[in-house]
Amino acid sequence: MDRKTDFDPQNAAKKLLREGRSGALATLMAGSGDPYCSLVNVATAADGAPLLLLSRLALHTKNILADSRISLMIDERKAGDPLEGARVMLMGRAEATADPEARRRYLDRQPEAEAFAGFGDFGFFRVELSGAHLVAGFGRIVDLKPRDILIDLAGMEALVAAEADVLAHMNRDQRDAARLYATKLLGARDGDWRCAGYDPEGLELQDGRTALRLTFPRRVDEPSMLRHILKQLADRARAA
């Protein structure tokens, strides 16, 4: 890692993870153990753990049900040579989950999946991370532990529980704020930006398949503090 810059590998990995909407999923073939790779859509749980919606008819799901060890690569999808862009390789185990929050958070980020999420052969999976490998440019290759990129949510139950209501309010009554966050604070092109989710350290903005992470100026641990930070950021964006 280049220590002459302010490069922060933990924040870089979190950004890739929260902005990722698809990735390459590697599983082990049932029986032979041969590697198998497929393309999947991705979302994240409140703590940052990847969430997947998979069909049990798919080969990668059959592999997971036989051996839950997986690797998931998410890249920033920037223009130009893809090898010059940042990517994070996540390792862990994919476990089926019936948590309604996993469903809600996934569909908030992948709304087109609503059409088939209820089919009998589809189910949600959460990836329990065991490690990560970040490649963020020349001299910026770092191995990370789960604690480096996952967020400890202890004591933040009210903040997590408020997400659905906060998002509904922002996207119904404060839609212009999302556009300002994206265009004025993150330098994105103008578009139909909306708030897709948040965590104690940042806000997810989304326009179609494009997602951006707006890092908060300080960590948020309860709903009233979140409202204050969102207003502060909106004021800053309007003044930009």
What average pLDDT does the chain have?
Answer: 94
The predicted pLDDT at position 138 comes to 77
Query: What are the C-alpha distances in Å from 224 to residues 28, 57, 159, 162, 166?
Result: 45, 44, 9, 10, 11
The predicted pLDDT at position 6 comes to 78
Domains and CATH numbers, the chain: 9-149 (2.30.110.10), 157-239 (3.20.180.10)
The predicted pLDDT at position 5 comes to 61
Give the ranges where 162-222 is alpha helix by DSSP (H): 163-173, 175-180
Contacts for 95 with CB less than 8 Å, ≥ 6 apart: 68, 125, 126, 127, 128
- Read off the pTM: 0.92
The predicted pLDDT at position 3 comes to 45
The predicted pLDDT at position 76 comes to 87
Integer-rounded Cα radius of gyration of the chain: 18
The predicted pLDDT at position 111 comes to 95
Q: Name residues of the chain where pLDDT drops below 50.
A: 1-4
The predicted pLDDT at position 7 comes to 86
